[in-house]
Amino acid sequence: MTRLFRGGFIFWVLFRYGLDELLLTSFQKPWLHAIARIVSIGRNLDAPRGQRIREALESLGPIFVKFGQVLSTRRDLLPLDIADELARLQDRVPPFDSDVAIATIERAFNKKVADIFVSFDREPIASASIAQVHFAVLKDRDGHAREVAVKVLRPGMLLAIEKDLSLMRMMAGWVDGISQAGKRLKPREVVAEFDKYLHDELDLIREASSAAQLRRNMAGLNLVLIPEMFWDYCMTDVIVMERMHGVPISQVDRLRAAGVNIPKLARDGVTIFFTQVFCDGFFHADMHPGNIQVSIEPATFGRYISLDFGIMGTLTASDKEYLAQNFTAFFRRDYKRVAELHIESGWVPPATRVDELESAIRSVCEPYFDRPLKDFSLGIVLMRLFQTSRRFHVEIQPQLVLLQKTLLNIEGLGRQLDPDLDLWNTAKPFLEKWMVDQLGPKKLIDQLRNEAPMYAKLLPELPRLLFDFLRSNKSDQGRAMDALLVEQKRTNRLLQAFLYGAIGFVLGLVVMQVIVRVRVF
Q: What is the pLDDT of residues 427-445, one digit of tens each?
A: 777 777 777 776 666 666 7
Strands (E) in 190-332, as ranges, are 224-225, 229-234, 238-242, 247-248, 282-284, 292-294, 304-306, 312-314
Per-residue pLDDT tens digits for 71-116: 665 555 567 778 778 777 766 678 889 999 999 999 999 999 999 9
Per-residue pLDDT tens digits for 166-193: 777 776 676 666 655 556 556 677 667 6
Q: Are 93 and 127 in contact (CB under 8 A)?
A: yes
Q: Last residue of some domain: 62, 89, 116? A: 89
Q: Are 62 and 130 in contact (CB under 8 A)?
A: yes
Reply yes or no on whether the pLDDT at 461 is more than 90. Answer: no
pTM of the predicted model over 0.95: no
Domain count, the chain: 3
Residue 129 lies in a domain: no
Cα separation of 382 and 370, whole Å? 17
Q: Is the domain of 280 the same as that of 425?
A: yes
Q: Is the domain of 378 the same as that of 488?
A: no
Per-residue pLDDT tens digits for 22-59: 666 666 666 665 666 666 655 667 788 888 888 888 88
Amino acid at 360: A
Cα separation of 172 and 174, whole Å? 5
Amino acid at 461: E
pLDDT confidence band for 245 (50 / 70 / 90): very high
Q: Is the domain of 492 the same as that of 365?
A: no
Q: Report helix, strand or coil for 493.
A: helix
Per-residue pLDDT tens digits for 120-173: 999 999 887 788 999 999 987 676 789 999 999 988 877 777 777 777 777 667
Residue 123 lies in a domain: no
Amino acid at 57: L
* Catalytically annotated residues: 286
Residue 133 lies in a domain: no
Q: Is the domain of 419 the same as that of 500?
A: no
Per-residue pLDDT tens digits for 275-327: 888 888 899 988 877 789 999 999 999 999 999 898 888 888 777 777 777 77
| Domain membership of residue 475 as a residue range | 470-520
Per-residue pLDDT tens digits for 373-396: 667 666 566 556 656 666 777 665
Rounded average pLDDT over 475-502: 54
Q: Last residue of some domain: 54, 89, 124? A: 89
Residue 144 lies in a domain: no
What is the per-residue pLDDT for 235?
93
Q: Last residue of some domain: 67, 89, 111? A: 89
Beta bridge pairs of residue 390: none
Amino acid at 482: D
Amino acid at 168: M
Please state, rounded to an integer, the average pLDDT across all residues of the chain: 76
Q: What b/e sequence results for 482-513 when a residue is b if at least 16 CB atoms lie within 10 Å of its CB, and e otherwise?
A: eeeeeeeeeeeeeeeeeeeeeeeeeeeeeeee
